[in-house]
A and B are shown apart, each in its own frame.
Chain A
Amino acid sequence: NAGVTQTPKFRILKIGQSMTLQCTQDMNHNYMYWYRQDPGMGLKLIYYSVGAGITDKGEVPNGYNVSRSTTEDFPLRLELAAPSQTSVYFCASSYGSGDQPQHFGDGTRLSIL
């Protein structure tokens, strides 16, 4: 049981490039989340999904897009990378909301130069 798997672990992008951060979970969780963590800061929610075909904006969605075509996968897309998007990105999943704990991947460290 792998849990939440994120790829890649590290990436360096040039300004204006695009890329997709991959996230997959094998726990049959309905809810999935993308967060970014800046140095010395907590987690800020970018987007979340309560099930396949449904996505919603979090606190900081600008510059990102998501899709949820299957229960397992929740990719995060950066269309035009900007230095402000340099961060560590975490994907998480949970069975439901409220009392259901979130399970986190190990993160993707992204640098935009």
Chain B
Amino acid sequence: GEDVEQSLFLSVREGDSSVINCTYTDSSSTYLYWYKQEPGAGLQLLTYIFSNMDMKQDQRLTVLLNKKDKHLSLRIADTQTGDSAIYFCAESYSSASKIIFGSGTRLSIRP
């Protein structure tokens, strides 16, 4: 079955790195995504990774994929107050017409 799980909350100090984790169950996933949702807004795609990749880096963002353990993580370096949001992990398959979302991790930044 299809399932994506994330922890609900993460609190980090400003300037530290944030690591948001996600596990998924379907080994046939082809694409894995990270979306960001700010208060009162829709979801915004941050980055995505193909299942044949182990890592993808984009400025302050690093995505790591452990396909054997079905584990995906998002690292945000030098976390800023503007990074406060809910982060959603999601998976999809090349043959499917839909994306399966996790429940989201609320990232809060403390001074």
Contact = CB atoms under 8 A, between A and B. Distances in A.
Interface in B67-111: 88, 92-99, 101-104
A98 B42 contact: no
Contacts of A104: 42-44
Contacts of B102: 42
A90 B42 CA distance: 7
Nearest to B102: A42
A98 B103 contact: no
Interface in B38-59: 40-45, 48, 50
Interface stretch (A14-22, A43-51, A62-70): A43-51
A101 B33 contact: yes
B98 A98 contact: no
Interface residues of B, number: 26
A41 B93 CA distance: 22
B41 A99 contact: no
A100 to B, nearest CB: 9
Contact of B97 (A56, A90, A92): A56
Nearest to B41: A106
The listed residue with most B CB atoms (<10 A of its CB), out of A42, A48, A106, A107, is A42
Nearest to B2: A59
A97 B45 contact: no
Contacts of B33: 101
B43 A90 contact: yes
A42 to B, nearest CB: 4
Interface of A: 4, 31, 33, 35, 40-43, 45, 48, 50, 56, 58, 90, 92, 97-99, 101-107
